[in-house]
Amino acid sequence: MVALEQELPAGLDLEVHGVSHAFDLHGAPLPVLDAVGLRAKPGEFVALLGPSGCGKSTLLRLVAGLEPPREGRILADGRPITGPHPSRVVVFQDPTLYPWRTVWDNVALGLEAQGVLRQRRNRVDEALRLVGLDGFAKAYPHQLSGGMAQRAALARALVNDPRLLVLDEPLGKLDSLTRIQMQGEIVALWRRAGFTTLLVTHDVEEALLMATRVIVFSERPARIKAEIVVDRPYPRHRDDPVLVELRHKALELLGLAGSW
């Protein structure tokens, strides 16, 4: 399904070295990331878990190249990231579809921006079918439900054949059934296409079901608290005793030991 021109591996090699970042809030610096270091090897699926407001989305913005980090280096295939590139595609927390474009045109955005839409029109239809929105190609975003908008945003990212797919709680607004289905679709797609995936989620179970590695962040400013390797074959089952064990461990790390 992915036809790559170069001999580069399908997945991007992402390295984050000692990245610290801060925002100015009411004149005072608000430290958000504190010496974060991580690596996602080509084809890995890394999940980022952490409390709300700790700085996960901020890290993703830096990885996308939308902002430079105040300290530290971020490398893609060994080269520093200086700006956004369509090989690193982000599905933002908020779907933010363009209200003046139909769903089809929204999904086609990346191909149009790169000037390859004419050759790859069928990719748009494919992506829409994958997220189950083929019947809504001509609808406008205000005619979609919140979950449908999120799925459209996912399709908009997938048509670009990314080498690094960055997902910021892409399934947050979905009902539990669609959510389980989309988790399966994303994992299947990732295994087929071989891109590197970075997934931010609040859902411990989701992280364990999908990722090969789960990185747990502390409260703001985010530091890496622990790393959990999930060495289980796919498709995974939520009642797999190993996963249940890991879930307890992760919840404990997040300070919710008694919850489950």
Partner 1 sequence: MSSLDDAAVLTGERNRSPTAPRLWLGGLAASAAWLAAAALTALWPEGEEWVRTGEFASLLAVVAGALAFAVPLLRLFGAAGERLRAAAPWLVVLALGVIGWELVTAKLDLLPRPFFAPPQALLEVYLDEWPRLLECTVASLQLLLLGYGIGAFVGFVTGVSIGWSRAVGYWVHPVLRLIGPLPATAWLPIAFFAFPSSWSASVFLIALATGVPVTILTWSGVAGVNPAYYDIARTLGASSRFLVLKVAVPAAMPHVFVGLFMGLGASFAVLVVAEMMGVKAGLGWYLQWAQGWAAYANMYAALLVMALVCSSLVTLLFKARDRLLAWQKGLLKW
Ligand X SMILES: Nc1ncnc2c1ncn2[C@@H]1O[C@H](COP(=O)(O)OP(=O)(O)OP(=O)(O)O)[C@@H](O)[C@H]1O
Residues at the site binding ligand X, with contacts judged by CB under 6 A: 23, 25, 30, 32, 50, 52-58, 93, 220
Q: By CB under 5 A, tell whether 201 contacts Mg ion.
A: no
114 binds, among Mg ion, ligand X, partner 1, none (CB under 5 to 8 A by kind): partner 1
Candidates 36, 23, 18, 14; CA nearest to 222 is 36
Q: 125: how many CB neighbours lie within 10 A of its CB?
A: 16
Q: Which residues, 6 or more positions from 3, have their beta carbon under 8 angstroms from its beta carbon?
A: 161
Type of residue numbered 5 = E
Contact 165, 110 (CB under 8 A): no
State which of residues 57, 178, 183, 218 lies at the interface with Mg ion (CB under 5 A): 57
Give how many residues touch partner 1 by CB under 8 A.
Answer: 28
Residue 220 CB, nearest approach to ligand X (Å): 6
Q: What's the burial of 231, exposed, middle or buried (CB within 10 Å: 0-12/13-18/19+)?
A: exposed
240 binds, among ligand X, Mg ion, partner 1, none (CB under 5 to 8 A by kind): none
Q: Which residues bind partner 1 (CB under 8 A)?
A: 61, 64-66, 83-86, 88-90, 92, 94, 96, 98-102, 109-110, 112-114, 140, 142, 156, 160
Q: Which residues bind Mg ion (CB under 5 A)?
A: 57, 93
